């Protein structure tokens, strides 16, 4: 079975195979035990459709670089996820980003020049295989089952949300209201040695307020203004996230050099 082209696989994915009735007629999906792939992930890609739900649990920031993308922070330091327990399960009822829920499936082009996207999956996961139990991909007539159709529809909606996210980010770029982010957090027992986090971007509130009224009105009418506010409100959770890390013993020793929130 040939893998789909993968010059650089996305976060979580170790391999990709196109799903088809010839090779996977008797493959099934079992029950995933936990989410080990997420255990040491501190930042997860987020679509703009999810800002309202995600801002209740996570700080929402944007990656650095020429093409910033929104991410939800599960921790402030690389390799730290404050929402997972020792069994690799979520410790509380929090919003789970669609990027996480989509794994191990995704839509991908089988050839760089192809226009169509094909449903693929990561074959390295242990709950998808040729097995007796679980949910089948195909029925006796080699037609996609209801489960497979549901997965395909979810992945299609995710791609559509990705296009809306791109439009949102393009608009922020045109408005010129993104700035390099920085946050300094101090512990009560180390008030003179702050933890300084950089390496992300955020909306500049001052520039947002300075936008012409017609620009603000347009953002309000197209629904983007509420997304910007959700992002800004979510930044208040930075300190809460820091405190979660501290309670879990996952805060590094304070230092004068800034800590990064990598892409």
The answer to the question of residue 7 being in a domain is no
The answer to the question of residue 3 being in a domain is no
User: Model confidence over 84-136: pLDDT tens digits?
Assistant: 988 888 887 899 999 999 999 999 988 777 778 999 999 999 999 999 899 99
The answer to the question of residue 4 being in a domain is no
The answer to the question of residue 9 being in a domain is no
Q: What is the mean pLDDT of the segment spanning 241-245? A: 93
The answer to the question of residue 182 being in a domain is yes
Region label for 48, one of left (φ > 0), alpha (ψ between -120 and 50) or beta (otherwise): alpha
The answer to the question of residue 6 being in a domain is no
Q: What is the mean pLDDT of the segment spanning 151-173? A: 97
Look up the domain containing 35 and give its range. Answer: 17-260
The answer to the question of residue 106 being in a domain is yes
**Which pTM was predicted?**
0.90
Is residue 258 pLDDT above 50, yes or no? Answer: no
Task: Give how many domains the chain has, as a whole number.
Answer: 1
User: Model confidence over 37-89: pLDDT tens digits?
Assistant: 999 999 999 999 999 999 999 999 999 988 999 999 999 999 999 999 888 88
Q: What spatial distance separates the first Cα and last Cα of the chain, rounded to whole Å?
A: 33
């Amino acid at each position: 079975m040939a893998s789909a082209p993968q010059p650089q696989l996305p976060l979580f994915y170790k391999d990709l195979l196109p799903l088809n009735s010839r090779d996977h007629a008797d493959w099934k999906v079992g029950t995933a035990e936990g989410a080990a792939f997420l255990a040491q992930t501190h930042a997860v890609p987020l679509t703009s459709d999810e800002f309202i739900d995600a801002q209740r649990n996570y700080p929402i920031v944007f990656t650095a670089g020429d093409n910033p993308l929104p991410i939800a922070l599960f921790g402030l330091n690389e390799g730290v996820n404050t929402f997972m327990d020792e069994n690799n399960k979520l410790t509380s009822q929090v919003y789970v980003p669609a990027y996480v829920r989509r794994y191990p499936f995704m839509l991908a082009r089988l050839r760089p020049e192809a226009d169509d996207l094909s449903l693929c999956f990561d074959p390295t996961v242990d709950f998808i295989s040729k097995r007796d139990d679980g949910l089948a991909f195909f029925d006796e007539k080699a037609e996609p089952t209801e489960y497979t159709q549901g997965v395909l529809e979810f992945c299609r909606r995710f791609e559509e949300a990705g296009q809306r996210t791109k439009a949102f980010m393009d608009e922020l770029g045109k408005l010129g209201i993104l700035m390099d982010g920085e946050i300094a957090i101090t512990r009560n027992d180390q008030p003179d040695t702050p933890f300084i986090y950089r390496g992300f971007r955020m909306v500049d509130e001052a520039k947002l307020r300075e936008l012409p009224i017609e620009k603000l009105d347009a953002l309000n009418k197209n629904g983007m203004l509420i997304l910007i506010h959700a992002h800004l409100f979510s930044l208040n959770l930075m300190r809460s996230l820091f405190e979660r890390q501290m309670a879990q013993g996952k805060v590094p020793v304070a230092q004068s050099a800034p800590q990064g929130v990598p892409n």
